[in-house]
């Protein structure tokens, strides 16, 4: 009957489903375009240092920061744009909107304040503020109410490589907005992280099927090395 559910059910884990989708050779890719930008989304201590902030931070690939540094450095060396975002709010959190209304604890999103340790980028990262773009954002997507879209347009970018966290939150939101703005979105799997593997792999599946190419970081490295400026 037309009103019966057709939703697929499965006993497989989110990781197993992702690995099946990812391994499917028939799935077409968006591919890399003519010019790449690296967009590093919120690699700040609130999310990268569980030793300091165990309730909000997470590690998926232990080498994530090293990979982010590597592709950012390679891109910078080729004259390709590198962008960093981090989250912070006013002292009274009035710029957090409805997103800041669910909880109000020291670990709550809206209590990441400018200049605080939670706001700081991870110390392992190399950020060249003389040439890299650094933006504060307040909502999930790196595109929302930031200069990112106009910055990428000026630099004639058509492909964004998205790193950071969380996979299920700001990475997904940024990838969806990238697609919506007409960019090819590339997500190197070693460069994104989440709190739980279920959220991580379920959202990687959704990204791979709909909004982005999920690739090995080596593929990004190869593309940047092959770029002729």
The residue whose two tokens read 């591919």 is: 31
- CA–CA dist 113, 181 (Å, integer): 30
Q: Is 170 assigned a catalytic role?
A: yes
Set 87, 170, 207, 214: catalytic member: 170
How many whole angstroms separate alpha carbon 59 and alpha carbon 77?
28
Model confidence pLDDT, tens digit, residues 9-57: 999 999 999 999 999 988 899 999 999 999 999 999 999 999 999 999 9
Nearest to 68 by CA among 162, 181, 177, 175: 162
DSSP 122: P
Segment 88-94 shows an average pLDDT of 94
Q: Work out whether the CA dihedral 195, 57, 204, 178 comes out positive or negative.
A: positive
The two structure tokens encoding residue 41: 């989304």
Average pLDDT on 116-124 reads: 97
Tokens of 26: 């028939």
User: Using one digit for the tens of pLDDT, what is the confidence trace for 171-218?
Assistant: 999 999 999 999 999 999 999 999 999 999 999 999 999 999 999 999
- In order of 76, 125, 143, 199, the CA distances from 65 in angstroms are 16, 6, 22, 20
Q: Which two tokens stand for residue 188?
A: 């190197």
Q: Read off the pLDDT of residues 142-162 as tens digits, 9 standing for 90 and up.
A: 999 999 999 999 999 999 999
pLDDT surpassing 80 at residue 1: no
Q: Which of 163, 140, 136, 185 minimizes the C-alpha distance to 61?
A: 163
Q: Could you give the domains of the chain?
A: 30-226 (3.40.50.850)
Residue 214 in tokens = 């999920």
Q: Is the pLDDT of residue 225 over 80?
A: yes
pTM, full prediction? 0.96
């Amino acid at each position: 009957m037309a009103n019966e559910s057709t939703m697929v059910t499965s006993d497989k884990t989110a990781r197993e489903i992702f690995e099946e989708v990812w391994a499917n050779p028939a799935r077409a890719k968006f591919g890399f375009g003519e010019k790449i930008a690296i967009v590093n989304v919120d690699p700040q201590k609130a999310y990268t240092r569980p030793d300091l902030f165990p309730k909000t931070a997470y590690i998926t690939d232990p080498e994530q920061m090293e990979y982010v540094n590597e592709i950012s450095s390679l891109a910078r060396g080729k004259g390709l744009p590198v962008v960093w975002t981090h989250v912070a709010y006013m002292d009274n959190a009035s710029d957090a909107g409805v997103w800041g209304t669910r909880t109000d604890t020291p670990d709550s999103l809206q209590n990441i304040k400018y200049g605080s340790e939670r706001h700081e980028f991870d110390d392992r990262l190399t950020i060249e503020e003389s040439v890299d773009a650094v933006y504060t954002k307040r909502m999930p997507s790196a595109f929302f109410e930031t200069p990112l879209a106009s910055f990428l347009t000026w630099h004639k970018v058509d492909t964004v490589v998205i790193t950071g966290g969380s996979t299920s939150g700001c990475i997904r939101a940024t990838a969806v907005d990238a697609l919506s703005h007409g960019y090819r979105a590339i997500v190197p799997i070693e460069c994104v992280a989440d709190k739980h593997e279920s959220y991580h792999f379920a959202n990687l599946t959704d990204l791979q099927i709909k909004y982005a190419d999920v690739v090995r970081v080596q593929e990004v490295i190869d593309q940047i090395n092959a770029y002729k400026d």
